[in-house]
Amino acid sequence: MKLSTTQRANSLEARDVAHILHPYTNAVVHEAEGPLVLAGGDGIHVIDRDGNRYIEGLSGLFCASLGFSESRLVEAAHRQMQTLPFYHSFGGRSHETAIELSERLIALAPVPMSKVFFANSGSEANDTAIKLVWYYHNAIGKPQKKKIISRQRAYHGVTVASASLTGLPYTHKAFDLPLPGILHTDCPSFYHHGLPGETVEAFATRCAESLEALILREGPDTVGAFFAEPLMASGGCIVPPPTYYAKIQAVLRKYDILLIADEVICGFGRLGTMFGTEAFGLEPDMMAMAKQLSAAYQPISALMVNEKIYAAVRDQSGAIGTFGHGFTYGGHPVATAVALETLKIYEERDIVGHVRDIAPGFQSALRALADHPLVGDVRGMGLIGALEVTSDKATKTPFDPSLGVAAHVGKRALAHGVITRAMGDMVHLCPPLIITAAQVSDLVARIGAALDDTLTWVE
């Protein structure tokens, strides 16, 4: 359709460019290319305003587990809006859906947990965990034990403290981050950091030794906590070696360091277990969750804390006069009602069982793309995976970043009707958990076509 100059100036695309500062977007490119404006959803598909359908190969942002047209979630929100559209949890106020949701989460916890703190985003949940690490150590009389260790390539959010945990340069560069006292140890990616001739097992040992060396350099009495996303999703879909966490946790126990599991993406079935904590045998003191908690239909996050942490918070708040932390919308009734309904759907439809059934086909179809001339590595677990492009498979040499090869795969995938996410040299896939086996084959075939197009473009 040919638009007049006035129509073009008044288009949604033009109004977007004129008024929205987009997150995680190159503003210069955005001014030139404009947005993709979505208008509707249907199962695993989203539909743009010209009526083009796309498989949402990333569940939005690793979150829309039940797809884009789950009417039960709409009804749950509507019912709650009609009864109690807002209330907060400050000063001991409460309401039924928050209470019921917290009970369900504690019952689902893979390790004993005591209380649930509600917030609105993964970043807020992780910020809360950081503050609790500090609060806890003040409460138990170890005020010097405050440093926190995260990992290179980790993604834990973008608020000042959670962005400091994040181990990706673009979340720090020009933002004057990370905060002092937040440190980064090795990323457990064998593909990127394994040495020639090194076994995966030896690599895991080396990661744990490197963590211990960092703790000793800093002084064990000054290190309070370690943050881990079980499978490092946004950082490159990095699946740590099988013995990695056992070795890491032995070091943490030795120096009395808390473990926080960031379940923001792994939580609620993504890996074929309810939580990544189970998949990797973690024993966290706190667990952060968001995204699939409400299937992304409402913004909500939660931080579960064990009794050890809660007891210290209770005593400290008693001494100070209040627990001085909380968000106006934390535990919002509409968000908790939707999350509760989401958890009911997961249980009724055995969503974890469904992921276990579908995942082997998804993983083997993706791995078949490893033979493609552009693909250096294929990684994944459950219903999450990533392809890493390389200019030389043998040496794993990355393409010149200015070429934007992975980004081109993403563009061609869009042309083939798939939305995915290209970051660095990686193309990420994380489809809605309701995807069927036939849809998996279709999705991966379209990614294969996008790779073929890109190969022609590169050559």
267 binds ligand PLP (CB under 6 A): no
Count the site residues for ligand PLP by CB under 6 A.
15
Stretch near ligand PLP under the rule CB under 6 A, chosen from 120-128, 348-356, 366-374, 394-402: 120-128
HSE, CB side, 13 Å, CA atoms: give it for residue 72: 14
Maximum CA pair distance of the chain? Answer: 70
Nearest to 184 by CA among 145, 144, 156: 156
How far is residue 73 from each of residues 47, 68, 101, measured CA to CA in Å? 19, 10, 15
Residue placing its CB nearer to ligand PLP in the complex, 157 or 330? 157
Q: Which of 261, 265, 351, 387 binds ligand PLP (CB under 6 A)?
A: 265
Residue ranges in 127-186 that form contacts with ligand PLP under rule CB under 6 A: 155-157
In the bound complex, what is the minimum distance in angstroms from residue 330's beta carbon to ligand PLP? 13
In 290-411 the beta strands, taken as DSSP E runs, fall at: 301-305, 375-381, 384-389
Stretch near ligand PLP under the rule CB under 6 A, chosen from 115-123, 177-185, 303-311, 341-349: 115-123
Q: CA 304 to CA 322: how far, in whole Å?
A: 19
| Binding-residue pattern over the window 2 to 41 for ligand PLP, x denoting contact by CB under 6 A | ----------------------------------------
264 binds ligand PLP (CB under 6 A): yes
In the bound complex, what is the minimum distance in angstroms from residue 158's beta carbon to ligand PLP? 6
How far is residue 359 from each of residues 54, 441, 443, measured CA to CA in Å? 21, 12, 13
327 binds ligand PLP (CB under 6 A): no
Residue placing its CB nearer to ligand PLP in the complex, 273 or 439? 273
Residue placing its CB nearer to ligand PLP in the complex, 70 or 127? 127
122 binds ligand PLP (CB under 6 A): yes
Contacts of 333 (CB under 8 A, 6+ apart): 80, 83, 84, 85, 86, 87, 95, 97, 98
In the bound complex, what is the minimum distance in angstroms from residue 445's beta carbon to ligand PLP? 27
Q: Which of 123, 273, 306, 390 binds ligand PLP (CB under 6 A)?
A: 123
| Binding-residue pattern over the window 215 to 244 for ligand PLP, x denoting contact by CB under 6 A | --------------x---xx----------
Stretch near ligand PLP under the rule CB under 6 A, chosen from 14-22, 88-96, 122-130, 386-394: 122-130
Residue placing its CB nearer to ligand PLP in the complex, 284 or 376? 284
Residue placing its CB nearer to ligand PLP in the complex, 41 or 276? 276
Rg (CA), the chain: 22
Contacts of 327 (CB under 8 A, 6+ apart): 119, 120, 124
Output the residue with the shortest Cβ distance to ligand PLP.
Answer: 122
Residue ranges in 277-296 that form contacts with ligand PLP under rule CB under 6 A: 290
Token pair of 204, please? 């895991």
Stretch near ligand PLP under the rule CB under 6 A, chosen from 237-245, 259-267, 310-318, 448-456: 259-267
Nearest to 354 by CA among 70, 65, 75: 65
- How far separated are the first and last CA of the chain, in Å rounded? 33
Q: Which of 65, 121, 249, 277 binds ligand PLP (CB under 6 A)?
A: 121
Token pair of 446, please? 């379209």
Residue type, 402: S
Residue placing its CB nearer to ligand PLP in the complex, 264 or 407? 264
Stretch near ligand PLP under the rule CB under 6 A, chosen from 211-219, 258-266, 368-376, 397-405: 258-266
Task: Yes or no: say if 223 and 255 are a contact pair by the CB < 8 Å rule.
Answer: yes
Q: CA 135 to CA 129: how far, in whole Å?
A: 10
Residue 436, classed as helix, strand or coil, is coil
149-161 exposure pattern, b = at least 16 Cβ within 10 A, e = fewer: bbbbbbbbbbbeb
In the complex, which residues of this chain contact ligand PLP (CB under 6 A)? 61, 121-123, 126, 155-157, 229, 233-234, 262, 264-265, 290
